[in-house]
């Protein structure tokens, strides 16, 4: 009877430790996710600001290109058409190169995922020991 009580106590303590471990791992995963979301939000805000400024610069460069073609003797319509065609070709090439390099790589494991795997192995080994 004393042996059964000892096994019951050990099993109860093991379940309590597993429960605490799972809660801690979930808390850690939430903290890692929140940190990544904050970093991504800041990065996205900076990218949006950069794209806005880039678009302003591109508009002025295209206007300057139209003016340059007009100085070469083309009328406004032909100069605008030439700049638009060159811009479309450049956009197509850049898009094609970007799509060729765009790959969905293997998602890197987080520290939490590695720790959960190690914890699961530890729990399995402790359960076998019983």
How do residues 17-34 score in pLDDT, each as one tens digit?
A: 888 888 988 898 888 888
110 is a domain residue: yes
Q: Is residue 105's pLDDT more than 60? A: no
Burial of 44 (0-12, 13-18, 19+ CB in 10 A): exposed
Whether 112 contacts 32, CB under 8 Å: yes
59 is a domain residue: yes
For the chain, give the mean pLDDT: 84
Q: Is residue 55's pLDDT more than 90? A: yes
The parent domain of residue 118 ranges over 26-129
Segment of 4-8, 15-19, 40-44, 60-64 carrying the highest mean pLDDT? 60-64
Q: Cα dihedral sign for 35, 36, 39, 40?
A: negative
96 is a domain residue: yes
Tally of domains within the chain: 1
6 is a domain residue: no
11 is a domain residue: no
Output the pLDDT for position 52.
95
Output the pLDDT for position 121.
83
């Amino acid at each position: 009877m004393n042996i059964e009580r000892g096994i019951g106590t050990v099993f109860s303590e093991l379940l309590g430790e597993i429960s605490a471990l799972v809660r801690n791992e979930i808390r850690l995963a939430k903290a890692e996710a929140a940190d990544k979301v904050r970093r991504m939000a800041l990065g996205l805000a900076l990218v949006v600001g950069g794209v806005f400024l880039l678009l302003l610069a591109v508009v002025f460069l295209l206007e300057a290109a139209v003016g340059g073609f007009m100085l070469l003797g083309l009328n406004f319509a032909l100069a605008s058409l030439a700049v638009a065609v060159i811009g479309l070709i450049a956009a197509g090439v850049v898009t094609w190169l970007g799509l060729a390099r765009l790959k969905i790589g293997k998602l890197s494991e987080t520290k939490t995922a590695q720790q959960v795997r190690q914890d699961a192995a530890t729990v399995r080994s402790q359960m076998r020991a019983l």
